[in-house]
Amino acid sequence: MELHEHLFRREAGRIVATLTRIFGVENLALAEDVTQDAFCRALEVWPFRGVPDNPSAWLMATAKHRAVDVLRRERTARTLAPELGRLLESDEKLAPAVEELFRTDAIKDDQLRMMFSCCHPRLPETAQVALMLHILCGFSVDEVAGAFVSTRAAIEKRLSRAKQTFAGSERLFEIADAADFAARLPAVHRALYLLFNEGYHGASPESAVRVELCREALRLAALLFEHPLGATPATYALSALMCLLAARLPARLDAAGNLSALADQDRSRWDPELMAEGQLLLDRSATGPELTEYHVEAAIAAVHASAACVEDTNWAQIVSLYDTLMTIRPSPVVALNRAIAVAQREGPDRGLEEIGAIADRDRLATYPFYYAALGELELRRGRGETAREHFRAARALARNSMERQFLEQRVEACAGGD
Amino acid sequence: MSEFVFLYRSTDAASRAAMGSPEQMQKSMQTWMAWMKQLADKGHIKDRGHPLERAGKLVKGNKRTITDGPYAEAKDIVGGYTLIEAKDLAQAVELSMGCPILEGGGVVEVRPVLKTGM
């Protein structure tokens, strides 16, 4: 029997989430140990007995048995979740109590509880995302470090601080309370968006790692809209945006493995299933009065998705969507993207004018694609020499080898410009 | 064809260290299964054998002293066994070379089954 490629990783997130509910937040490390034990057991048994028919159920059942052992052994020595105390008074009550705790419908929401708990307001956003990847997606410290292109030591520190805050939060986030749910939801959206962006734009040189991060963000977002309280227009919009961008991933690298700009991508390689799903989710997001940044960004991605080539793009619509985005979440990067769209519609001179008019333009000084945009527009005006200077400046700011390679090619493209 | 027993031995610490993240564990499990399957496909597996619990009891001497063991810190603990069919000891040894336990610092003990009537 073939196992799902990342079965263990995903099951780890599910099992830790359930065990943390049972043991209590302060016993996260215990939950992680018991989970590890369940995987060790699989590693010992499966080679001899074969993969069980339902590997997920096998792993959860094994974790359950270990949990019973731990509860039996430690219920007096350790402070477990207070609501457990009553259930664990005697051995006779223990087994049925544990059965109750592992009921399928109870397990179903554990990942959501964990997701919301990871987005604790006292944690910085980067720590929230790292914690989600670690606890909920089963990434080891090394794997999280690989995803963020950080050192093991730095990630270990970030995670252990985050876990302290987590353990001090007394209990898992209670998703049954609609008001609390709604209040924390924007932070969860934000963290998922950051996780996705780490994959989409992030610095990891390994495209496999990046695709994984995007997939995990999509998977967690789906858990969110499968829950009645999580199925909000903003959740659908965020999922739509991530699907529509993820659809482009196969074309983001050209045949030689180099980063390919949107305009140059082979659109026949865009994933039709993800595009269709993105469009469907975008339709579902169009209810109610709330217009979030995710709605607008998804709409922009949908305009690109509907154009057979860059020339067919409805740039007027894109400029107007960027105008809207500037009112919801203004930033110099959004203004820059708007200016690039203006240039597509009205020519490079107008684009450069718009760039010159960006408020807080100095905040773009360390953003490589600011100089790359200037370079493209100068190149289109026939000023190869100026363009080359901009691309060189961009190259010097490149955040990873793929960006560097891409910008190097742009520098070289200016060679015959003048 | 002769029969051999593969005894998989490793220290508790070594096998734990080799396990690591869920992703690594899945990979090493898949390597194990692939190795076993390859032996089975070539008709070398007489009996897949069984995994063994890491701890049990040691019964010792004519006084029948019973102790817990083997201890976690024991040099190597037998984690399982498989009954193998091979032409001779040399081939059985050759077959053991691909065992994933070796990557994690473990040992495969290859022992011919004593033939009765010889």
Residues of B in Cβ contact (< 8 Å) with A43: 19, 25, 28-29, 32
Pair (A80, A118) in one structural domain: no
Let me know: does A361 contact A355? Beta carbons within 8 Å: yes
By CA distance, what is A139's nearest residue in B? B21
What pLDDT score was predicted for residue A202? 73
**Highest mean pLDDT pick, A22-26, A65-69, A138-142, A231-235:** A231-235
* B25–A40 CB contact, under 8 Å: yes
Average pLDDT, chain A: 89
Give the phi and the psi of residue B4 in degrees, each rounded to 5.
Answer: -135, 150
Q: A185 in a domain, yes or no?
A: yes
Domain span at residue A276 reads 239-313
Closest CA to A159 of A180, A176, A175, A136: A136
Question: Candidates 3.30.70.2740, 3.40.190.10, 3.90.870.10, 3.30.70.1060; correct CATH number of B2-112?
Answer: 3.30.70.1060
CA pair distance A243, A304, nearest whole angstrom: 13
What pLDDT score was predicted for residue A108? 77
What pLDDT score was predicted for residue A94? 74
* B33–A47 CB contact, under 8 Å: yes
Closest CA to A241 of A189, A206, A163: A189
Closest chain A C-alpha to B86 CA, distance in angstroms: 19
CA pair distance A118, A131, nearest whole angstrom: 6
Which of these three, A108, A133, A158, is where a domain ends? A108
Residue-wise pLDDT tens digits, B85-118: 999 999 999 999 999 889 888 899 999 999 876 5
Residue A418 has pLDDT above 50, yes or no: no
What pLDDT score was predicted for residue A81? 62
CA pair distance B111, A72, nearest whole angstrom: 41
Residues of B in Cβ contact (< 8 Å) with A143: 21, 23
Pair (A225, A245) in one structural domain: no
Residues of B in Cβ contact (< 8 Å) with A38: none
Let me know: does A274 contact A247? Beta carbons within 8 Å: yes
Q: Give A111's pLDDT tier (boundaries 50, 70, 90).
A: very high
Closest chain A C-alpha to B37 CA, distance in angstroms: 9
Q: What is the pTM of this model?
A: 0.85
Pair (A152, A100) in one structural domain: no
Residue A417 has pLDDT above 50, yes or no: no
Pair (A6, A29) in one structural domain: yes
Q: What is the number of domains present in chain A?
A: 3
Q: What average pLDDT score do residues B28-51 get?
A: 92
Closest CA to A16 of A130, A86, A115, A105: A115
Which of these three, A177, A211, A231, is where a domain ends? A231
Helix (H) or strand (E) holding A404: helix A401-413
Pair (A168, A248) in one structural domain: no
Q: Give A83's pLDDT tier (boundaries 50, 70, 90).
A: low
Residue A74 has pLDDT above 90, yes or no: no
Residues of B in Cβ contact (< 8 Å) with A140: 20-24
What pLDDT score was predicted for residue A416? 57
Let me know: does A112 contact A224? Beta carbons within 8 Å: yes
What pLDDT score was predicted for residue B73? 59
* B19–A47 CB contact, under 8 Å: no
Q: A216 in a domain, yes or no?
A: yes
Which of these three, A66, A89, A108, is where a domain ends? A108
Q: Which of B10, B25, B35 to mutate to test the interface with A (most CBs of A within 10 A)?
A: B25
The sheet carrying B2-10 orders its strands as: B45-51, B77-86, B2-10, B107-112
Residues of A in Cβ contact (< 8 Å) with B15: 40
Amino acid symbol at A150: S
Residues in CB range of B60: below 8 A, 6 or more apart: B66, B67
* B22–A45 CB contact, under 8 Å: no
Residue-wise pLDDT tens digits, A201-222: 876 767 777 888 999 999 999 9
Pair (A113, A92) in one structural domain: no
Residue-wise pLDDT tens digits, A29-62: 989 999 999 998 998 899 898 899 999 999 999 9
* A43–B20 CB contact, under 8 Å: no
Q: A357 in a domain, yes or no?
A: no
Residues of A in Cβ contact (< 8 Å) with B36: 47-48
* A140–B20 CB contact, under 8 Å: yes
Q: A1 in a domain, yes or no?
A: yes
Closest chain A C-alpha to B42 CA, distance in angstroms: 17
Pair (A188, A172) in one structural domain: yes
